[in-house]
Amino acid sequence: MSIWGEFDIGEHHFTASLPDSDTESQDWTIVVTKHGEEVRRETIPLTYRPRFGPDVGDVGELNGRIEEIIKELGIE
């Protein structure tokens, strides 16, 4: 699993990772931490294997779910 992107909102740090190979589960992994402690971990299935990076549709799914998590955690 490799980090594809990360950002901070206030005290929360968001990380999105992709599988490194076909032997790993073909999912995005989203991890949210606050002060170094994990507060949320989720996976989202990928529609396409990320051979040369993620598909634009898979990125859209990731962005949509991250927006939902931000609202759920009340950090917007």
Q: How does pLDDT run across 21-61, given as a tens digit for each residue? A: 889 999 999 999 999 999 999 999 999 998 888 999 999 99
Contacting residues for 55 by C-beta, under 8 A, at least 6 apart: 46, 47, 48
**Could you tell me the pLDDT band of residue 73, with boundaries at 50, 70 and 90?**
very high
- pLDDT value of residue 76: 72
- Say which residue, 76 or 20, is predicted with more confidence: 20
- DSSP secondary structure code for residue 25 in this structure: -
Q: Show the domain range for 23.
A: 2-73
Q: List the alpha helices (DSSP H) in 1-76.
A: 56-73
Number of domains in the chain: 1
- pLDDT value of residue 22: 86
Q: How far is CA 54 from CA 42, 43, 68, 74, in A?
A: 17, 15, 20, 28
- pLDDT value of residue 33: 97
